[in-house]
A and B are shown apart, each in its own frame.
Chain A
Amino acid sequence: QSVLTQPPSVSGAPGQRVTISCTGASSNIGAGYDVHWYQQLPGTAPKLLIFDNNNRPSGVPDRISGTKSGTSASLAITGLQAEDEADYYCQSYDSSLSGVVVFGGGTKLTVL
């Protein structure tokens, strides 16, 4: 049971727009902690996709974007491509108990 909740799977056709939600609580996203997103291609390490809610590292295309509002965040991918098929994870910090870095359970994106 992850502290941050993501849908297990989403899908879209090439060229379409998909969004992946990340729902938290008042002790993490709602407390103002930034949300970050990672892409994990099969058999590889995660790659940072979005940091600080809506910033892209160098090399990440601008068809990928992030937003945050209240206790939730979202990742949007427009112009869907076959190579976008991967697992996506959100991540933040939770201040409950002793504090811990937390990840969402992950969302499998399938390009139809």
Chain B
Amino acid sequence: QVQLQESGPGQVKPSQTLSLTCTVSGDSISIGGYYWTWIRQHPGKGLEWIGYIHHSGSTFYNPSLKSRLTTSVDTSKNQFFLRLTSVTAADTAVYYCARGWYSSSWYFDFWGQGTLVTVSS
């Protein structure tokens, strides 16, 4: 069974950088055609796709976040990472990592439990 687990600070100060790690077990990030994805959910709101990274290093980001976003992968640790710079209160959300697969559009078959990140001074 594939499992994903997010980790990182629960609170980040405005204008600073939000950094999260997703640790994958039960599957190898470096094998296959999966897209390792970040999705967030603002409090009481719907889901927002952030972006993905493939083990080859290719990335695809939400245009609304692209200028502040970097993702990376460490295949030796079976982890992938999110880095979002210049955060504001609008970045307060539950952040999920997920495994994505592409058919004629991406879908996400396994998700982490999510981690709440609050942007506050």
Contact = CB atoms under 8 A, between A and B. Distances in A.
Interface of A: 2, 32-36, 38, 44-48, 51-52, 57, 89, 91-93, 97-106
Interface of B: 46-49, 60, 62-63, 66, 96, 103-109, 111-114
Contacts of A98: 63, 66
Contacts of B96: 45-46
B105 A36 contact: yes
Given A51-B103, A52-B107, A103 B47 contact: yes
Contact of B46 (A51, A97, A104): A104
A34 B107 contact: yes
Given A89-B46, A89-B47, A106-B46, A101 B106 contact: yes
B115 to A, nearest CB: 10
A102 B49 contact: yes
B46 A93 contact: no
A34 B46 contact: no
Given A44-B113, A97-B63, A103 B48 contact: yes
Contacts of A38: 47, 108
Closest 9 A/B residue pairs (Cβ): A93-B105, A101-B49, A36-B107, A33-B105, A45-B111, A103-B47, A106-B46, A98-B63, A51-B107
Contacts of B106: 93, 101
Contacts of B104: 32-34, 52, 93
Given A34-B104, A100-B63, A48 B109 contact: yes
A36 B92 CA distance: 26
A89 B96 CA distance: 15
Contacts of A57: 109
Given A44-B113, A45-B111, A105 B105 contact: no
B49 to A, nearest CB: 4
B47 A46 contact: yes
Contacts of B62: 100-101
B49 A46 contact: no
B105 A92 contact: yes
19 contacts: A2-B46, A32-B104, A34-B103, A36-B107, A44-B113, A45-B112, A46-B111, A51-B107, A57-B109, A91-B107, A91-B108, A92-B105, A93-B104, A93-B105, A97-B63, A103-B47, A103-B49, A106-B46, A106-B47
